[in-house]
Structure formats: C-alpha cells, structure tokens
C-alpha cells in the first residue's frame, strides 16, 4: 500500500529548502506527499524558534496531532529544525509529547532517512541532537517544490551573534559551500529550466570568509551571472556590515543578477544598533543605500526591523520610523522583539512592555503600507522585466523581479515560463495590469 508523508514547515527560506531535502529522503524510501495530515504515515514538523510566537505555534500543532497517533499507532511523528536544536527542547518533546517518535536537530538533518529506517526496524524512539556542526554533506536527495524558483544553499550557520538572535546557537558557525559545488548545482538547475535561482545564507555577504583564500560573494555572484542560459540569480540575506561595493557593482552591472536587495537594518538608532551588536552605524547603512540607489537600475530595497528592543525609547523608535520614510523601502518586515533564552539581550534591563511594542510595530507597518501604495502608483508607465509563468484563456500571469504580481492581456503567444519586458498600465488592488511592448 502507498505510504504518505506530510511536512509542516515553519520559519525562513532555509527551512523551506531543508523541507525539500526531507521530502527527497522520504520519496527515496517510497513515500509520496499528501496534503491531508490525517492520511499521513509520517508527519514531520520542521520547526523555527526565532520568536516565541513561532515556538508556541509549533508546540500547539505538535500537541494537536496526538489524536492522530491515537487513531493510528503506526503513525510516525518527527520533529526537526531550529527548535529541536535549542537547548532543552528535545528533553521537553521527550517528556511532554510522548507521541513524538523522532527528534533530530539542524546538524544531522541529512541523516533523517537513516533515523527513520532505524525507528521502523527497532520501534525505539530516536532523540539525536548533535551539539556542533560537522562538514557540509553534499549528497542529499532533494525534492524541489517552488515552481520556477530553486533554492541553493551557499553557506550555513552564522558568526554574528546579534544580541537578540537565537540563530547562531541553533545553526552553528559559518560554513561556506565550495564554489565548484554551487556552480555545478546551479548549472544543473538552469538545464532543468529553473528561472530563478535563490542563493541562501544567514549572511551571504560573508560567503567564502572561512576559506581564507580570498574567495568572496562578489566573485561567486559574477561567476554565476556569467553562466549560459535564461535565468536570474537572487540571494538572501545581506548583512549591512559585510555588503561590499564590489557586490553592489556586480548587482548594478550584471543583467542576470536580481536587483532586489533585502538589507535588514533592524533599527534606525545608533544606540540600539550598538546594543544589538550589529557592527554598523545608521550613517554607514545610509551610505550603502545611497550607493545602491545611485548605481543599481530598477533597484528594490526591503528590510527587517525589530521594535521594542530593550532600552528603545520613543525617540529611538522615531529614528527608525524616519529612516523607513527616508529609505522609502519597497518592503518592511517588522517584528516585535521577543526575548530568546540564552541570548545577551534577554538579560538586558529596560525591557519594553508588550503594548508599546504592539503600537510601534503597527505604526511602522502602516507607514510601510502607505509607501508601497505610493510606489505602486509610480510604477504605472514604467517598462520592467517580468517572468511570465502561467496563463488562462485571456491573460498571462507574471511576476516582477521584486515579486509583485502582474496580469497581462494575451496579445501574443508565448512558451512559458519566459522573461519578457512589460509596460505597467494600471493597478487593481495589489495586482499590476500590464501590456507587452
């Protein structure tokens, strides 16, 4: 009888991509995907612990599948990802969630298949968390799930220890993948017809630092941008302290590099940036933005911001607010600071009350909404490149480099997917209406 898997993914693109690896391993064992958790023989929770809300969601969802295990004692429930790797969490799953059979961390995800087989053979629960990272494992089955976009890891881990952040504790130190391995993978993906290749790392700008031979991110980008084929390279995330002029120049001049730059600023106050251990100033950040605006055609800049970090006064917050207005971001991901166990900021005095965090994040997000509305208006009349992805009888559906959706009258015949220049004619809700030129 056909066996089914169901994977629930939380958190960032890194996790989305790792779920593709989990799916690959499950498929190599003969499982196929089900969209209905009730039909699954294996349920995997690929977890995130970046904020408390993420963890509460995970715990609630894992608690809720207890009834499925009761109905089907052969059901295998596995938990992996950042939350499993967090101090004390595996023990919590063991004690409080006895219906969970397999718990593994971030460093041994590539061995999930072995643990699953081991559990099936012995029926002994597997709680296996490695305390530190090992060498990068290149040899993992993968089942890609995001249409025309393919995710590619270029590095793992983070060395930055921003004082609020749990990631360095659950993802280990920075390890870059060999450039030759990345290029081989990207070439293969282009040959398979993927149009967007998105390079993933917690801080892509420090790619290659660990090789200590001068290899850097600008080099990698340039090599990839010179490959043959019809594709665009995207990447995330950039840390402002490591974004070099060389990288900005590559983005500005290489046609196959996406012009989307996600540059998390976190705060517009130097006092707060220092407390966050971000290692740049607002002035430096603004100089990067100026360089981008001066040199990159059709740039799209987005950011992450944390409000309510300890010691953040109304004045600090307004500095952030004013920076958002000044930079005129195409997108703002605003978060309320959430204390994470074991981080430096958790121990800081002057924690900001929840209602103030709420008010600040709402104020910031409504500003961002206004900015985006205005930017959409200004797109009317512009000619931009879009990836035309799907069609129906009357329209083509496309996405711009920045991810905005575009609807185009079907005046020509195209073989999809394909890149095409389109002229924006109007806006309808949050969709852009365009025509071919």
Residues that bind ligand F3S (CB under 6 A): 11-12, 14-15, 48-50, 82, 166-167, 170-171
- In this structure, is the dihedral angle defined by the CA atoms of residues 151, 239, 262 and 250, taken in order, positive or negative? negative
Beta bridge partners of 427: 432
Nearer to ligand F3S, 75 or 167 (CB): 167
Q: Which does 161 bind (CB under 5 to 8 A by kind): ligand SF4, ligand F3S, ligand SAH, none?
A: ligand SF4
Q: Which does 337 bind (CB under 5 to 8 A by kind): ligand F3S, ligand SF4, ligand SAH, none?
A: ligand SAH
| Smallest distance, ligand F3S to C-beta of residue 50, A | 4
Q: Which does 51 bind (CB under 5 to 8 A by kind): ligand SF4, ligand SAH, ligand F3S, none?
A: ligand SAH
CB neighbour list of residue 54: distance below 8 Å, 6 or more residues apart: 10, 11, 47, 48, 83
- Contacting residues toward ligand SAH, per CB under 6 A: 50-51, 164-165, 167, 202-203, 237, 239, 264, 266, 304, 306, 335, 337-338, 340
Please compute, for residue 374, the number of CA atoms within 13 A of its CA located in the half-sphere on the CB side. 11
Burial (CB < 10 A; 0-12, 13-18, 19+), residue 205, is: buried
**Residue 168 touches ligand SF4, criterion: CB under 6 A:** yes
| Smallest distance, ligand F3S to C-beta of residue 15, A | 4
Query: What whole-number distance in Å separates Cα of residue 193 and Cα of residue 187?
Result: 10
Nearer to ligand F3S, 167 or 243 (CB): 167
User: Tokens 């968390």 appear where?
Assistant: 129
Query: What whole-number distance in Å separates Cα of residue 270 and Cα of residue 320?
Result: 10
Of the candidates 307, 362, 367, 361, which has an alpha carbon nearest to the alpha carbon of residue 338? Answer: 307
Q: At 118, is the secondary structure helix, strand, or coil?
A: helix
In the structure encoding, which two tokens stand for residue 220, read together?
């990698």
Query: What whole-number distance in Å separates Cα of residue 217 and Cα of residue 236?
Result: 12
Of the candidates 346, 345, 341, which has an alpha carbon nearest to the alpha carbon of residue 87? Answer: 341
In the structure encoding, which two tokens stand for residue 156, read together?
């793992």
Query: What whole-number distance in Å separates Cα of residue 134 and Cα of residue 146?
Result: 28
User: What strand order describes the sheet that includes 260-262?
Assistant: 260-262, 300-307, 331-336
Burial (CB < 10 A; 0-12, 13-18, 19+), residue 113, is: middle
Query: What whole-number distance in Å separates Cα of residue 320 and Cα of residue 282?
Result: 10
Stretch that binds ligand SF4, among 53-61, 121-129, 159-167, 360-368 (CB under 6 A): 159-167
Among 162, 182, 292, 296, binds ligand SF4 (CB under 6 A): 162
Q: Which does 157 bind (CB under 5 to 8 A by kind): ligand SAH, ligand F3S, ligand SF4, none?
A: none
Q: Which does 11 bind (CB under 5 to 8 A by kind): ligand SAH, ligand F3S, ligand SF4, none?
A: ligand F3S
Nearer to ligand SAH, 50 or 78 (CB): 50
Give the x-and-dash track for 234-253 against ligand SF4 (CB under 6 A).
-----x--------------
In the structure encoding, which two tokens stand for residue 116, read together?
């699953």
Residues 283-322 that bind ligand SF4 (CB under 6 A): none
Among 23, 59, 77, 165, binds ligand SF4 (CB under 6 A): 165
Nearer to ligand SF4, 162 or 388 (CB): 162
User: Tokens 């390079």 appear where?
Assistant: 199
| Smallest distance, ligand F3S to C-beta of residue 224, A | 23
**Residue 261 touches ligand SF4, criterion: CB under 6 A:** no
| Smallest distance, ligand F3S to C-beta of residue 308, A | 18
| Smallest distance, ligand F3S to C-beta of residue 14, A | 5
Beta bridge partners of 306: 335
Among 19, 203, 206, 338, binds ligand SF4 (CB under 6 A): 203
Q: Which does 168 bind (CB under 5 to 8 A by kind): ligand SAH, ligand SF4, ligand F3S, none?
A: ligand SF4
Stretch that binds ligand SF4, among 135-143, 154-162, 212-220, 311-319 (CB under 6 A): 154-162
Binding region for ligand SF4 (CB under 6 A): 158, 160-162, 165, 167-168, 202-203, 239
């Amino acid at each position: 009888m056909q066996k089914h898997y169901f994977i629930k993914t939380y958190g960032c693109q890194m996790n989305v991509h790792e779920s593709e690896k989990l799916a690959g391993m499950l498929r190599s064992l003969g499982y196929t995907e089900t969209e209905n958790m009730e039909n699954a023989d294996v349920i995997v929770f690929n977890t995130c612990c970046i904020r408390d809300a993420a963890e509460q969601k995970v715990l609630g969802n894992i608690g809720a599948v207890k009834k499925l295990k009761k109905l089907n004692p052969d059901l295998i429930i596995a938990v992996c990802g950042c939350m499993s790797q967090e101090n004390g969490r595996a023990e919590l799953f063991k004690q409080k969630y006895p219906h969970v059979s397999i718990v593994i961390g971030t460093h041994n995800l590539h061995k999930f298949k072995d643990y699953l087989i081991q559990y099936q053979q012995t029926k002994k629960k597997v709680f296996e968390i490695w305390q530190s990272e090992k060498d990068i494992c290149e040899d993992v089955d993968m089942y890609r799930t995001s249409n025309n976009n393919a995710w590619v890891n270029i590095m793992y881990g983070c060395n930055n220890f921003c004082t609020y952040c749990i990631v360095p504790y659950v993802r280990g130190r920075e390890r870059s993948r060999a450039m030759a391995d990345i290029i081989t993978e990207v070439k293969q993906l282009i040959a398979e017809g993927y149009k967007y290749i998105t390079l993933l790392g917690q801080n892509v700008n420090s790619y290659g630092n660990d090789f200590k031979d001068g290899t850097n991110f600008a080099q990698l980008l340039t090599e990839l941008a010179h490959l043959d084929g019809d594709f665009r390279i995207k990447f995330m995330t950039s840390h402002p302290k490591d974004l070099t002029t060389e990288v900005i120049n590559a983005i500005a001049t290489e046609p196959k590099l996406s012009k989307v730059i996600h540059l998390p600023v976190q705060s517009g106050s130097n006092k707060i940036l220092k407390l966050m251990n971000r290692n740049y100033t607002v002035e430096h950040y603004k100089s990067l933005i100026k360089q981008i605006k001066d040199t990159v055609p059709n740039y799209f800049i987005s950011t992450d911001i944390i409000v309510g970090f300890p010691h953040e006064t109304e004045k600090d917050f307004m500095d952030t607010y004013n920076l958002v207005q000044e930079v005129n971001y195409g997108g703002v991901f605003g978060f309320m600071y959430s204390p994470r166990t074991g981080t430096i900021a958790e121990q800081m005095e002057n924690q900001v009350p929840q209602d103030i965090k709420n008010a600040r994040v709402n104020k910031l997000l409504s500003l961002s909404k206004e900015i985006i509305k205005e930017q959409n208006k200004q797109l009317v009349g512009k000619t931009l490149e879009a990836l035309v992805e799907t069609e129906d009888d009357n329209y083509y559906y496309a996405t711009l480099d920045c991810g905005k959706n575009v609807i185009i009258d079907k005046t020509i015949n195209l073989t999809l997917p394909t890149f095409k220049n389109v002229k924006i004619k109007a806006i309808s809700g949050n969709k852009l209406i365009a025509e071919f030129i």
